[in-house]
C-alpha cells in the first residue's frame, strides 16, 4: 500500500440520507486532511487530524458534518441529512510532520451526488 485510499469512489444518495466516507492514509503519515472540491474549483479545506486529535475545522464544516480518526489510523467523514449542495468530490490527504516536508499525498476522492 503506497498511496492514500478512499472508499467508496462514488456515492449517490437521496437528499436527507446520511453518508459516510472512509480514508486510509499512508501508514507512516501522522496528519490527515479532508478537503472538498466542487466542479471547476480548487479543493477547499474542511478539517485535519494530527494522529487521533482533530486540530482544526473549517467554517465550511457545518454541524451536519463529522469526522473521526480513531487510533490515529483511518478516518471517516460522515454527512448527516445530506443536501444537494453537498454534492462534490471529497478528498482525503495525508502527510508526515517532523521533517521539513510539507508535501501532501491526496487520494482519488469520493464523488458524492445528492439527488
Partner 1 sequence: QQQVKQSPQSLIVQKGGIPIINCAYENTAFDYFPWYQQFPGKGPALLIAIRPDVSEKKEGRFTISFNKSAKQFSLHIMDSQPGDSATYFCAASRTGGGNKLTFGTGTQLKVEL
Residues at the site binding partner 1, with contacts judged by CB under 8 A: 4, 31, 33, 35, 40-45, 48, 50, 55-56, 91, 93, 95, 97, 102-109
H helix or E strand, kind and range, residue 24: strand 19-24
Asked whether the beta carbons of 46 and 35 are under 8 A apart, the reply is yes
Query: How are strands ordered across the β-sheet holding 19-24?
Result: 5-7, 19-24, 75-79, 65-68
Sequence-ordered list of residues with C-beta below 8 angstroms from that of 67, at least 6 positions apart, any chain? 34, 46, 47, 49, 54, 57, 61, 75, 76, 77, 78
Q: Find the shortest distance in angstroms from Cβ 20 to partner 1.
A: 19
Of 13 and 50, which has the nearer Cβ to partner 1?
50
* Complex with partner 1: residue 18 or 55, whichever CB lies closer: 55
Q: Which CB, 48 or 82, lies closer to partner 1?
A: 48
Q: What's phi and psi for 57, nearest 5 deg?
A: -130, 135
* Smallest distance from partner 1 to CB 81, Å: 27
* Closest separation in Å from C-beta 19 to partner 1: 19
CB 26, min distance to partner 1, A: 13
3 or 16: whose CB is closer to partner 1? 3
Amino acid at each position: 500500500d503506497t498511496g492514500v485510499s478512499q472508499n467508496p469512489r462514488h456515492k449517490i444518495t437521496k437528499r436527507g440520507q446520511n453518508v459516510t466516507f472512509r480514508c486510509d492514509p499512508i501508514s507512516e503519515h501522522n496528519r490527515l486532511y479532508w478537503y472538498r472540491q466542487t466542479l471547476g474549483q480548487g479543493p477547499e479545506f474542511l478539517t485535519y487530524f494530527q494522529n487521533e486529535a482533530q486540530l482544526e475545522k473549517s467554517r465550511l464544516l457545518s454541524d451536519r458534518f463529522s469526522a473521526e480518526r480513531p487510533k490515529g489510523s483511518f478516518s471517516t467523514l460522515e454527512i448527516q441529512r445530506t443536501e444537494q449542495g453537498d454534492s462534490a468530490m471529497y478528498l482525503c490527504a495525508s502527510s508526515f510532520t517532523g521533517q521539513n516536508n510539507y508535501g501532501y499525498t491526496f487520494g482519488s476522492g469520493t464523488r458524492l451526488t445528492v439527488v
